[in-house]
Structure 1
Amino acid sequence: MKNHLPTVTIFITAASWAGFAIWLGVNPNALLGAFGIEDRTPQMATEIRAFYGGLEMAIAVAMIVLWRRGDTFASLLIGGLPLLGSASGRLVGSVVDGFSMMHLGFAGLELLGAAFCFVGAQMVSRGEHGD
């Protein structure tokens, strides 16, 4: 039986990146409210749109473009590395800035997503996929 994990992982990860990009690109204040930030400025909203909207959508698009070009490994790397980086920043922040269960939860989800991407990339590099 063929293993479709790498391709399924690409589409779930890309959809996650795109979903957050659309949500926060349209409603950047949702993120500010989640973190208890009351004093909001238009510049803050623009920054959230730029990174959580624009950058995350770029990651999703790059993943799909690379997959369509036949570079599944690169697609998984593009999806997984930012997740690993974000989780690492959250964990460092929990040590340096103080523990936050919310950030720990987010880091856990990001680490899970990164793990799936890296397992898929390993499968692709070994030729173990059937996609």
Structure 2
Amino acid sequence: MNRTFPTIAIFVTATSFAGFAVWLGVNPNALLEAFGIEDRTPQMATEIRAFYGGIELAIAVAMIVLWRRGDLFAALLIGGLPLLGSASGRLIGLVVDGFSGVHLGFAGLELVGAAFCLAGARMVSRGGREWNERSNG
């Protein structure tokens, strides 16, 4: 099995998660500004640091740890499923709450990232089955 595409998917996704984590951990108001939120509180900044900073950094670290352990499938799921979930929430919001170009753009990027990771996971999964069939056959 060729591991190039899955490995690239892991590193691009982990780097993206880590980049957003550092950016929004340091400057949480950047996200509020992107959404046009002018009334800000320290609690809002803390919440952004926790989720966009802390959780995204944890996802990036988990992906790299799993990659180092040789579990590419798990690393790709850890990266792809949160992106798919976030995009789904944004798309539901567009229907329920009204159109937002910013949310549509973020959803598009998240869907591309999710597809990238999940395609890699499928490749790894298929490669694993083929190897097991050869070993047991």
**Paired letter, 1:23:** W
Aligned partner of 1:80 in structure 2 is 80
Q: Distance in 1 between matches of 2:75 and 2:2?
A: 19
Q: Percent identity?
A: 81
Residues 18, 57 of structure 2: 8 Å contact kept: yes
Post-superposition, which runs of at least 4 consecutive aligned residues in structure 1 deviate over 3 A? none
TM-score normalised by L of structure 2? 0.90
Name the counterpart of 1:32.
Answer: 32
- Give me the CA root mean square deviation: 1.3
* 1:81-130 residue CA offsets vs partner (Å, 9 max, x unmatched): 000000000000000000112211111110011001111001001118xx
Total equivalences in the alignment? 128
Mapped to 1, the partners of 2:43 and 2:82 lie a distance apart of 24
- Alpha-carbon distance in structure 2 between the residues aligned to 1:115 and 1:42: 35
Q: Which runs of 5+ in 2 are unaligned?
A: 129-137
> What's 1:102 paired with?
102
- Tell me the secondary structure at the aligned position of residue 61 of structure 1: helix
TM-score normalised to the size of structure 1?
0.94
2-structure distance, mates of 1:66, 1:106? 26
Which one has a larger percent helix, Structure 1 or Structure 2? 2
Higher RCO, 1 vs 2 (CA within 8 Å, ≥6 residues apart) = 1
Instruction: Tell me whether 1:69 sits opposite 2:62 in the alignment.
Output: no
Who wins on radius of gyration, i.e. which is larger?
2
